[in-house]
Structure formats: C-alpha cells, structure tokens
Chain A
Amino acid sequence: MFKMTAKTAAQLCAWLACSLPLAAVLLPAAARAQQEPPYFVTYSTVLEEPGNLEIENQDIAASPKNANSFLAPTVEFEYGVKAWWTTEAYLQGQTTTNDSTVFTGFRFENRFRPLPREYWINPVIYLEYEDVNDADKSFLEITGNTSITTQQLSNGALRKEVERSIEGKLILSSNAKGWNISENIIAEKAVNEAEAWEFGYALGAARPLALKGSSRECAFCLQNFAAGAELFGGLGTRYSFGLKQTEQYAGPTLFFNTPHGVTLKFSPEFGLNDNSAGVLWRMGASYEIQQLRDWFRRAR
C-alpha cells in the first residue's frame, strides 16, 4: 500500500511548485476568474465559486540573517461547497540549504459567509485545524510571540515539536471604486499543549490595474493585472498582547491572470523589526478546475 512519507510529500509539493507555472504556458486557453484580490496572507471575503476546485502552489524563499536560506512550498486545494461556504486543505513542506527537506504538516479550513448581501463591510468566519511541526516556514499567518532566530535550529530539532491547534479568523472586506480592502483578526489556540491564546492580524489593499474589460481577448491587457499591498504580523498572546517580541512584515503584491486560466502572484515582503527576516520572497501559481462537481453528476 502507498504510504505518504515526509519525503514523498515534500517531493509532491516540489513537483506541483514546478508544474503549475509550466501549466500556465502549456494549457489550452481557459476561462479565468478575475475577482480574487492578489493577497498571500490576507483573506478577503471572496469565496471559491460553488463546484470549483482551485489548486494553488505558494512558495516562500528567504535567507534570514545567521540562518540557512530556505524554500517552503505550500499546496492548497480549495473547493467551493456552496456560494457561502468554502473548504480548503493545505500540505506544507520546506527545504533548507545545508540541512534537509521535510514535510511540515497540514491544515484544514472552512470559510463561511454569514450575510446574504453585499454591504459596505462584509464579514466571513474562518475556522481551521492545523497539525504542523515547528520546522514549518510557510508564514501563512503569524500569531503569538515569534522570532526568525528560531530558524537557526536544525530541521531535525524543530520537527520534533508538533503543534495541533484550532484557529479562528474574523475576515472583513470592503469593495469600493475597484479597491478591495481586507482586514483579518486571528486567534489561535494549541490543543495538544498548555499554551495561551495567540493573536495576529493581516491587512491588505488591492486594485485591478484597469476597471473596465476590453472588447478583445488579450493576454496583457491591464485588466488582467492587479496590484496591492499587505501588512501582517503577530499580536502576542493573551498574557503579552501587543507588538513586542513579534514578527511584522509588509510588502507590495502583483497578480497576473494568464490567458490559460492560471493565475500568477508575486510579492517581496519586508521585515519591519529585528525579530523578522529581512525579505520573504513569495510567488504563487493557481489553476481552477471549473465545476468539478459536474464530473460526478449524471448528464441531465
């Protein structure tokens, strides 16, 4: 029987990391979804459309001071169950120079949109269960009191500590004059260790480079690009709430909707204090399989 080992999981992540950008070039022209803002960490209230499956690979690379450089791929499978409910699973791994390649864990999340209409500010409730070890370098969010100096430890030492936790986010998002402004408030609690509630935040603002569609199909029309910025970091714990001893990052993001249905994202995120890495380089590629559920339905 096939057994998913840490090595095969890491190889799978690496394979997807290479294949998705390649798919952008090789796939036949397909429809492209255009309303998702170009964020890596911040969630907006845009959910996956019902029946669609989005496969995304997100890579993060950094060379922290006094630590080995690393590349951490995360593969996401995001499915629209209902127009008001999206479910998502993540597989995470990382490879560190002069060290090793390891599978660091998984996350399972659900997002619910409780209100049926569009308001000036729209909420989404996010609930997540995660099972990741301390070797995780995905920076999908930052909570609690952390420092990049922990990356100086070897993968072998870090992966011994596994944290299973539940996490909730209140996602707020507004759309006005083409701009999307999103705010996330994060609360996380370890369930396998006696740790205090940890908090974090993420803020994002983005806008397509053109607000009107073109009457011709074009690959490099401005409407296919979006730009924005993100700011995110930890807010300490229940007993040490605040910015002290936390990592904080900010940076611009750029997004390109290719004609083949693959979207590409890029962002350099700059550390804002001594606890943070100098720069986190992020890139992402995603492909949406449209109306997957139709494959399992009988023809009507």
Chain B
Amino acid sequence: MKPVWILICLIVALPLAAMAAANGSWLKSVPAADRGRTNPFAGDSGAAAAGQNLFRNNCAKCHGENAEGKGNRPSLRSERIHNATDGEVAWLIKNGEAFKGMPGWGALPEPERWQIVTYLRSVNTAPEGELR
C-alpha cells in the first residue's frame, strides 16, 4: 500500500475510532484525578466577575449571554453542571467534546478556565428543581 493511502486511512479511521470509544457521557470520561481537583478561585466573587467576562467573550456565542443555552446548544444553568464537581467542569472546558460539537479550550490559560468554572458555579446556585 502506498504511503499516501495509509495516511488517508489514518485520517478517516482515527476520528471513527475515537467516536466508537466514546461512552456517551463526558462525565464518565473524566479521570478521577481531574474530578477531584480544587478550584483555586472557589467562592471568589472577583474571579466570578472575571469569569463572566471570559464567558461572554468565548462561550456566550453558543451557550447564550447568561449561560441559558442557545438553539440546540445546551444551557449551562442545569442540574448536570450544578451536580458536577469543579474539577469535572474544568475538565470539560479544557478537553471539550469535539465529536459532539464542543471544542476544547486547552489553549486558554488554566487560571482563566478556573475563573469560568467559578462563574458557572455562581449561576448554578439555585435549588436543583429550578434548574433545567
């Protein structure tokens, strides 16, 4: 087989293999070490305000100005986010779910990603029944 065909096969096969390996829920994919990570800005209102600015610049175009969701892009004022640990939310922001439409934001500096987690935590404080 010519090298160019091996390359084409790899390009096609790798995303398919990755999709097949996905277990359907990003929460199940989070490694235990990431799940237990502590948010260095937890409870910091200044960090939540900075996170809100970062959210508006980077995330609002898909998830809505106030994280309420947009079109078929999910609301982040949800029981799932409310119940997730800070480490799980931080892991999702960093890695994304590329094959389900969510890009990874690993190139954003880590402190900024934690500020976004802090903001999302601040808008997910309502009682569980009131969240979608």
| Interface residues of A, Cβ cutoff 8 Å to B | 31-37, 44-47, 49-52, 80, 82-84, 112-118, 122, 125, 168, 173, 175, 177-178, 180, 208, 211-217, 223, 290-291, 294, 297, 300
* Binary contact readout B1-33 vs A (1 if CB under 8 angstroms, 0 otherwise): 000000100110011001100100000010000
CB atoms of A114 and B54 under 8 A apart:
no
Complex alpha-carbon distance, A34 and B14, angstroms? 28
State the majority secondary structure of interface residues on B. helix
* Binary contact readout B89-105 vs A (1 if CB under 8 angstroms, 0 otherwise): 00000111111111111
Other-chain contact of A47, B7, B51, B103, B112 (Cβ < 8 Å):
B103
Closest partner residue, chain A, to B115 (CB atom) = A213
Q: Which residues of B contact A290 (CB under 8 A)?
A: 61
Q: Which residues of A contact B115 (CB under 8 A)?
A: 212-213
Complex alpha-carbon distance, A60 and B20, angstroms? 45
Complex alpha-carbon distance, A34 and B49, angstroms? 17
Shortest CB distance A127–B (Å): 8
Q: What 10 additional pairs, Cβ within 8 angstroms, besides A83-B96, A178-B109? A: A31-B57, A31-B61, A34-B112, A83-B97, A83-B101, A116-B95, A211-B110, A211-B111, A212-B109, A215-B46
Closest partner residue, chain B, to A35 (CB atom) = B107
Other-chain contact of A212, B18, B100, B111 (Cβ < 8 Å):
B111
CB atoms of A114 and B53 under 8 A apart:
no
Complex alpha-carbon distance, A297 and B73, angstroms? 13
Other-chain contact of A215, B49, B102, B108, B111 (Cβ < 8 Å):
B49
CB atoms of A34 and B58 under 8 A apart:
yes
Q: How large is the interface on B (under 10, 10 to 19, 20 to 34, 35 or more residues)?
A: 35 or more
State the majority secondary structure of interface residues on A. loop
Q: Which residues of A contact B54 (CB under 8 A)?
A: 34, 213
Complex alpha-carbon distance, A118 and B54, angstroms? 20
Complex alpha-carbon distance, A125 and B15, angstroms? 12
CB atoms of A125 and B57 under 8 A apart:
no
Q: Which residues of B contact A35 (CB under 8 A)?
A: 58, 105, 107-108
Closest partner residue, chain A, to B108 (CB atom) = A35
Shortest CB distance B57–A (Å): 5
B50 within 8 A of A: yes
CB atoms of A300 and B53 under 8 A apart:
no
CB atoms of A84 and B109 under 8 A apart:
no
A-B contact pairs, 6 of them (CB 8 A): A34-B112, A47-B103, A51-B62, A116-B98, A215-B46, A300-B72
CB atoms of A113 and B98 under 8 A apart:
yes
Shortest CB distance B68–A (Å): 14
A214-B11 in contact given A175-B106, A178-B109 (Cβ < 8 Å): no
The 3 A-B pairs with the shortest beta carbon distances in the complex, nearest first, are: A114-B14, A215-B49, A213-B50
Complex alpha-carbon distance, A215 and B71, angstroms? 28
* Binary contact readout B31-53 vs A (1 if CB under 8 angstroms, 0 otherwise): 00000000000000011011101
Q: Which residues of B contact A212 (CB under 8 A)?
A: 50, 109, 111-112, 115
CB atoms of A118 and B61 under 8 A apart:
no
Complex alpha-carbon distance, A82 and B29, angstroms? 21
Other-chain contact of A36, B60, B102, B107 (Cβ < 8 Å):
B107
